[in-house]
């Protein structure tokens, strides 16, 4: 935990230094496209503390949160299944490679044609991109489980369910969490892209409308909020990861020492 606090403090220190440099260097800017950070910050406070939260921030989070939850609920069991059954994994491997490599933006017209432009489509679109790192992380984590642990489970005559929940999932948890972290970043990007193209609310819609109406201070304020939101999501997830995987980080610190 101490190392985590130190790491967060280091991140915040650097972020503050970057913002201070941006504030100073842009203070005399007269460019229409690159306004001073002081103007962006003033508009940021007007918009996001808390005038636009119900109309733009909440709709984005309302789609993002269930999409990530669904990605975990679907991706983790499928990954564990594929990691446990080598033959099945070999059969579906080409499909997995195709699905992971396919640009998700190319699927957006199909999602619109099938599901319309409602919240359900936006959630499904995020899931289509966010599920892959979770699924592959769970698969690779289970495949990498020490064979001695599997032999121990068999020697203690653990059932399939007990083996999964007491042996495979704990051992694969670090890679599963790594996959979820990647999925959070992918999901945030897909959320913004989807809102820019097929939405009438949300952060992506706000930023695009601000750009198209040449309200560039608003555009920068929206972009600043998206970056801050991404950082806070990552920080919250890191905190959860430290709590759930405290045994893993303790062992890693012991080995490093």
Residue 99 pLDDT = 84
CB-based contact 64:176 (threshold 8 Å) = no
Residue 2 falls inside a structural domain? no
**How far apart, in whole angstroms, are the C-alpha atoms of residue 220 and residue 222?**
5
Residue 99 falls inside a structural domain? yes
Long-range Cβ pairs for the range 219-224 (8 Å, 24+): 220/35, 220/40, 220/43, 221/40, 221/43, 221/44, 221/47, 221/48, 222/47, 224/40, 224/44
* CB within 8 Å of 105: residues ≥ 6 apart: 193
CB-based contact 79:136 (threshold 8 Å) = yes
Residue 57 pLDDT = 92
Residue 26 falls inside a structural domain? no
CATH number at residue 52: 1.10.3720.10
pLDDT < 50 stretches in the chain: none
Residue 20 falls inside a structural domain? no
The residue segments making up the domain with residue 55 are: 40-256
Residue 3 pLDDT = 61
Number of domains in the chain: 1
Residue 204 falls inside a structural domain? yes
CB-based contact 74:92 (threshold 8 Å) = no
Residue 181 falls inside a structural domain? yes
**How far apart, in whole angstroms, are the C-alpha atoms of residue 42 and residue 166?**
52
Residue 38 pLDDT = 92
Other beta carbons less than 10 A from residue 15's beta carbon:
13
CB-based contact 103:186 (threshold 8 Å) = no
The pLDDT tens digits of the residues spanning 41-76 come to 999 999 988 778 888 899 999 999 999 999 999 999
Residue 4 pLDDT = 57
Residue 257 pLDDT = 60
CB-based contact 245:173 (threshold 8 Å) = yes
**Residue whose C-alpha is closest to residue 122's, from 26, 192, 46, 25:** 192
Residue 3 falls inside a structural domain? no
**How far apart, in whole angstroms, are the C-alpha atoms of residue 63 and residue 122?**
7
Residue 27 falls inside a structural domain? no
In whole angstroms, what separates CA 257 from the centre of its chain?
A: 31
């Amino acid at each position: 935990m101490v190392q985590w606090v130190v790491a967060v403090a280091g991140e915040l220190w650097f972020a503050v230094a970057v913002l201070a440099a941006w504030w100073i260097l842009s203070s005399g800017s007269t460019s229409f496209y690159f306004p001073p950070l002081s103007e962006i910050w003033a508009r940021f406070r007007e918009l996001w503390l808390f005038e636009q939260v119900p109309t733009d921030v909440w709709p984005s989070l309302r789609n993002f949160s269930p999409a990530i939850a669904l990605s975990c609920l679907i991706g983790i069991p499928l990954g564990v299944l594929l990691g446990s059954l080598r033959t099945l994994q070999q059969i579906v491997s080409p499909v997995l490679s195709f699905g992971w490599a396919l640009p998700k933006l190319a699927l957006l017209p199909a999602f619109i044609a099938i599901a319309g432009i409602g919240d359900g489509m936006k959630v499904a679109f995020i899931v289509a991109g966010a599920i892959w790192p979770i699924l592959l992380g769970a698969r690779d984590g289970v495949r990498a489980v020490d064979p001695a642990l599997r032999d121990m489970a068999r020697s203690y005559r653990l059932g399939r369910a007990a083996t999964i929940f007491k042996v495979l999932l704990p051992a694969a948890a670090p890679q599963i969490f790594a996959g979820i972290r990647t999925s959070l970043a992918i999901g945030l990007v897909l959320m913004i892209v989807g809102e820019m193209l097929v939405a009438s609310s949300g952060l992506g819609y706000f930023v695009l409308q601000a750009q198209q109406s040449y309200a560039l201070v608003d555009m920068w304020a929206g972009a600043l909020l998206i970056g801050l939101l991404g950082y806070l999501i990552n920080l919250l997830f890191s905190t959860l990861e430290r709590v759930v995987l405290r045994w893993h980080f303790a062992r890693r610190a012991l080995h490093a020492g």
